[in-house]
Amino acid sequence: MKQYLKHHEWHIIEEGLNPHYNQVSESVFSLGNGRMGQRANFEEDYSGETLQGSYVAGVYYPDKTRVGWWKNGYPEYFAKVLNAPSWIEIKIKIGDLVLDLAKCKVESFKRVLDMKQGLLQRIFTATLSDGKKVSVDAKRFCSMADGEIGAIRYEITALNFSAPITLTLPINADVVNKDSNYDEKFWEEVTKAAEPGWAIVNAATKKTNFHVCTGMQYDIQSAGKSIKGKVSTHVREKYADNVIETDLKENIPLTIYKYVAILSSENHAKDKLVATCKSKLKEAVTSGFEKLFSDHAKIWAHKWEECDITIDGDVAAQQGIRFNIFQLTQTYTGEDERLNIGPKGFTGEKYGGSTYWDTEAYCLPFFLSTAEPKVARNLLVYRYKHLGKAIENAKKLGFKEGAAFYPFVTMNGEECHNEWEITFEEIHRTSAMAYAMRDYIDYTGDREYLSEFGLEVLIGIARFWNQRVNWSDNKKKYVILGVTGPNEYENNVNNNWYTNYLGAWTLRFAMESADYVKQSNPTRYNEIITKTNFKDTEETERWKHIVENMYYPYDADRKVILQQDGFLDKELIPVKDLNPADRPLNQKWSWDRILRSCYIKQADVLQGIFLFEDDFDLETIRRNFDFYEPLTVHESSLSPCVHVILASKIGYKEQAYEFYLRTARLDLDDYNNDTEEGCHITSMAGTWMSLVKGFGGMRVRNGQLHFNPFIPDQWKSYSFRLEFRDRVIIVKVSKDKIDTVLEHGEPLEVIMNGKPVMLKSK
């Protein structure tokens, strides 16, 4: 855990340059706009520890799988989000010396992420080895108003000298992925060009042949007037630049505006990329930095109106929730149904920028409540479009007759994860797609989704479970063997309760949905059964038998659900008795020791109870929480949020608050010592749920909103906003009262602390 960032309601602030924390800061201060994003790398050279990262949504490379021992069924490749052509560089040479903060005396350094306006700023003063002292004020943003535009304003001032300065402004596609399996570079050049004033590189990804055209144009000003300087241009493979030589005069700031356009063949015809890039650059320069920025900031203001959460009386918590909302919003804007939410968003390479079950299990509720229904629907349709591939994935593993096995990790629907314990065994993920549908329908009331898209998917997933279970003669029940539950610190277990419960629930939901479509839209139903070759009576008869005869591990003495068969054979030593030096276990212990231990990486039984909360009474929830919470190490970022929600439900307010801080400040305080690889974007949606579903106690039951709020002792008040069925509702919880305001829409009855309350707009 690191606590070096200053607390502030709207800003993330780092004061002083600590080279060991630089990569953590590069992740935390990342910028994005849904179409592209980047780590907070420096504009000028930096020879210290850094992970360079610039990413373009949807652009990936299928890196050939590398494993120690090949297992049949492994995918051929792991899809990786690419470190894309770099556009932020502004290299500075003063006299003969390069400005490099790793080699200068840095006298003051401040990095600020203004979350309200989506602006990254760095201000520093540094002395070069020859005694020349400069100050720099660098600002940049990735435009929310035009997802293909980025802009930098870099101001440098000589504090104790006048000297020649050389500025290099490149576009560089000669970049690498740190996680490249075979040290390969993934980009090839299509074209490049540089002329005084601009440079463009059009590059293509190997194998996938995505084209990304990146161009820059600039303006340099001294004392408020544009200057030309002596310009030379250079091109080499995958690279183009302008080098400008001019004079840096003592105390007269030199301001470099670098305007950038990044276009991908996902959105433009390949043969039009360069021309469009040039015209977008021209427009950007004409608009100028201030106008581009004010357009961008306006969009942020609007986004904050839609999804801000305020917390009064606790700056750390306020900063935490805003940071989570900020990062989520700049990762996924919901405008493009081909895109999804990678666990690291645009903040790092880990997890390949691909889509995980995280989207359905954690992110969907955030988008359901803070955006128009189309956004959440797009996320569901994304999986509908992958149904064919999910059926292929299942076929590769020996399933048949239209069984659909959704991938654990994917870019285009194909599985690209290659660890047997996850690829083959973490099968619960296929049902996250079904659960998300239920969530969506409950929240929006759009049951027609089932006829249009949903039922086809459900039939496929139900067929998977139907084939994946087996009848145990011994238990006289259906069992599910050889799985990994959400808790990845257990592999190849039998009867993981969460998996069995979810599998059986999916079969039930698929049957109910089939019935609904049959009744409500017989024509469409007939189309679906023909298309999927669904023998409804025969298939659902067996599904029903499974639902009624599924085995669920349980300990009658303790009256707790068992995470899996044999869980109680483990030595049950609570986490609090572990030596702190052993944490995090995944960095300190051998894998086999972890597997044999009782420690739970992330909510598993509790995850299931959270999803199906209404199936359990309060006492059962409390008993299971009391049993599993002390054994949970939360080494997945996705874990604490579930614990906040359940702790809130059972009245463990202090614990709920502790977990809340852990999820909300996970990256800001680097709790799991891994933020340098990127931020935990998908778990940020869990933070939102912690507050709204945890503290706010928000649920939807039978189409009606319920609230059961409490306020942590540390807070004076908090408020959140929901979009719900054409209404906008603001809930404000203070120590002594709860205000629920209908800001927009027709009157609505909600249930507040068990009692109906009619909301009317003023």
Active site residues: 488
358 lies in the binding site for ligand BGC (CB under 6 A):
yes
Smaller CB distance to ligand BGC: residue 30 or 265? 30
100 lies in the binding site for ligand BGC (CB under 6 A):
no
* Exposure string over 481-508, b if 16+ CB within 10 A, otherwise e: eebbbbbbbbbebbbbbbbbbbbbbbbe
Smaller CB distance to ligand BGC: residue 28 or 731? 28
Name the minimum Å distance from CB 222 to ligand BGC: 48
Per-residue DSSP letters for 522-578? Answer: HHHHHHHHHHHT--HHHHHHHHHHHHHTB---EETTTTEE-SSTTGGGS----GGGS
Smaller CB distance to ligand BGC: residue 351 or 424? 351
Site string for ligand BGC, 517-556 (x = CB under 6 A): ----------------------------------------
Name the minimum Å distance from CB 487 to ligand BGC: 8
The three-class DSSP label of residue 290 is: helix
135-194 residues near ligand BGC, rule: CB under 6 A: none
Name the minimum Å distance from CB 408 to ligand BGC: 7
Q: What are phi and psi of 281, to 5 degrees?
A: -65, -45
Q: Pick from 602, 624, 675, 687: which binds ligand BGC (CB under 6 A)? A: 602
Name the minimum Å distance from CB 635 to ligand BGC: 8
Q: Exposed, middle or buried: residue 198 (CB in 10 Å: 0-12, 13-18, 19+)?
A: buried
Which segments of 143-196 are extended strands (E)? 149-158, 163-172, 187-195
The three-class DSSP label of residue 443 is: helix
Q: Which stretch binds ligand BGC (CB under 6 A): 172-180, 349-357, 389-397, 451-459?
A: 349-357
Q: Pick from 154, 356, 498, 516: which binds ligand BGC (CB under 6 A)? A: 356
With CB under 6 A as the rule, give the number of residues binding ligand BGC.
Answer: 12
Q: Tell me the residue number closest to ligand BGC, measured at CB.
A: 343
Token digits of residue 199:
């440079």
Q: Which stretch binds ligand BGC (CB under 6 A): 84-92, 353-361, 552-560, 690-698?
A: 353-361
Site string for ligand BGC, 308-347 (x = CB under 6 A): -----------------------------------x----
Strands 717-724 and 727-734: what pairing?
Answer: antiparallel
Name the minimum Å distance from CB 526 to ligand BGC: 38
Beta-carbon contacts of 752 under 8 Å, excluding residues fewer than 6 positions away, are: 706, 707, 708, 738, 740
Q: Omega into 584 within 30° of 0, i.e. cis? A: yes
C-beta of residue 440 within 8 angstroms of C-beta of residue 376: yes
C-beta of residue 413 within 8 angstroms of C-beta of residue 386: yes
124 lies in the binding site for ligand BGC (CB under 6 A):
no
Name the minimum Å distance from CB 458 to ligand BGC: 22
C-beta of residue 424 within 8 angstroms of C-beta of residue 73: yes
Smaller CB distance to ligand BGC: residue 100 or 674? 674
CA distance 327 to 223: 36
Name the minimum Å distance from CB 570 to ligand BGC: 19
Name the minimum Å distance from CB 177 to ligand BGC: 18
682 lies in the binding site for ligand BGC (CB under 6 A):
yes
Name the minimum Å distance from CB 494 to ligand BGC: 20
C-beta of residue 595 within 8 angstroms of C-beta of residue 487: no
Smaller CB distance to ligand BGC: residue 238 or 383? 383
Q: What are phi and psi of 728, to 5 degrees?
A: -120, 125
Site string for ligand BGC, 483-502 (x = CB under 6 A): ---x-x--------------
Q: What distances in angstroms separate CA 32 from CA 285, 333, 571, 675, one per listed residue?
A: 21, 10, 45, 17
Smaller CB distance to ligand BGC: residue 44 or 358? 358
Smaller CB distance to ligand BGC: residue 114 or 488? 488
Q: Which stretch binds ligand BGC (CB under 6 A): 221-229, 351-359, 562-570, 685-693?
A: 351-359
355 lies in the binding site for ligand BGC (CB under 6 A):
no
Residues paired with 5 in a beta bridge = 14
Smaller CB distance to ligand BGC: residue 14 or 488? 488
Q: Which stretch binds ligand BGC (CB under 6 A): 19-27, 100-108, 355-363, 715-723?
A: 355-363
Q: Pick from 29, 357, 534, 695: which binds ligand BGC (CB under 6 A)? A: 357
- Exposure of 301 in the CB half-sphere (CA atoms within 13 A): 6
- Number of residues in the chain: 762
DSSP state of 248: E
- Secondary structure of 572-600 in the HEC alphabet? CCCHHHCCHHHCCHHHHCCHHHHHHCCCE
Residue 254's H or E segment, with its range, is strand 254-264
Name the minimum Å distance from CB 193 to ligand BGC: 40
Q: What are phi and psi of 235, to 5 degrees?
A: -130, 145
Site string for ligand BGC, 620-649 (x = CB under 6 A): ----------------x-x-----------
Smaller CB distance to ligand BGC: residue 62 or 352? 352
351 lies in the binding site for ligand BGC (CB under 6 A):
yes
Residues that bind ligand BGC (CB under 6 A): 343, 351, 356-358, 486, 488, 601-602, 636, 638, 682
